[in-house]
Amino acid sequence: MARTPLIAGNWKMNLDHLQAVAFVQKLHWTLKDAKHEDGSVEVAVFPPFTDIRTVQTLLDADKIPFALGAQDLSAQDSGAYTGEVSGAFLSKLDCGYVIIGHSERRQYHGETDEVVAAKVQAALRHGIVPVICVGETLEQREESGPTAVSVEQLRVALAGLPADADVVIAYEPVWAIGTGQVASPEQAEEVCGALRAVIGEVLGADAAERTRILYGGSVKAANIAAFMREPDVDGALVGGASLLVDEFAAIIRYQKHVGV
Ligand code: 13P
């Protein structure tokens, strides 16, 4: 079964709602000018919460074929949880995806594997595909090898899900995020292959075959093609480079330079 590649831009805490409009319009025009074929790759943007309504309206009005996602959601559905955002609200704003367990949330907001698992369940309750992030720090890699931490994080996140759960996995080694110290395609493949095996064990062979696994960490136009040649890498979760229109458009158009 062919998996549609997914190129996802995690804006993190960048671009207000006005800047978001300009950015999304420019990205759309750039891809049109380059005669990019819309169906070949799925494109998703993950703006801050305050931009989502604006971006949703723009995508809808201009028929821009990008998927929309949020960077986090609450494990709860409603109630006295000041500052939290419910999956129900995101779903009403046409968010098809939500990033869960990004290393910045694990690190700065104390999100444990159990919190991540609860948020995955919340996303699925509201029909939103969770983009489940896993990845090791440099110390963890040295201590327990390249795959152990990500494998364990994923096992906890997937526990108890039905076999037909629609999820995306993102392998983001912490040491490669925002550092310019990109993993090699072979390193990414080693972990993504191990993660696919975990999906197979927990959710079954069909899920392992259909679930997309992304690589994230210092992805750029110059290195995306090599990642995409790996059999278990189905796309990228892009941070810094997703804020630069030409660079992100070139990442989306990696099929034009796969042979480079
Ligand atoms: P960079 O692409 O800036 O390294 O960030 C990766 C990331 O954290 C995407 O979620």
pLDDT at position 248, please? 98
First to last CA, the chain: 26
Say how many Å lie between the CA of residue 10 and the centre of ligand 1. 7
Closest C-alpha to 243, from 11, 2, 48, 5: 11
pLDDT at position 170, please? 98
Q: Please choose from 132, 172, 223, 242 the residue to mutate so as to test ligand 1's pocket, defined by most ligand atoms within 8 A of CB.
A: 172
Residue 237 beta carbon below 6 angstroms from any ligand 1 atom: yes
Of 102, 104, 111, 190, catalytic: 102
Whether residue 194 lies inside any domain: the answer is: yes
**What domain range is 114 assigned to?**
6-257
Q: Please, are residues 56 and 94 in contact by the beta-carbon 8 Å criterion?
A: yes
**How far apart are the C-alpha atoms of 243 and 238, rounded to whole Å?**
9
Q: Give the count of domains, the chain.
A: 1
**How far apart are the C-alpha atoms of 254 and 260, rounded to whole Å?**
10
Whether residue 178 lies inside any domain: the answer is: yes
pLDDT at position 1, please? 58
**pTM for the model:** 0.97
Profile the chain (260 residues) by mean pLDDT over runs of 10 residues: 93 98 98 92 98 98 98 98 98 98 97 98 98 97 97 98 98 93 95 98 98 97 96 98 98 78
CATH number reported for the structural domain that contains residue 243 in this entry? 3.20.20.70
Q: In degrees, to the nearest 5, what angle opens at C-alpha 210 toward C-alphas 234 and 106?
A: 60
| Residue 172 known to be catalytic | yes
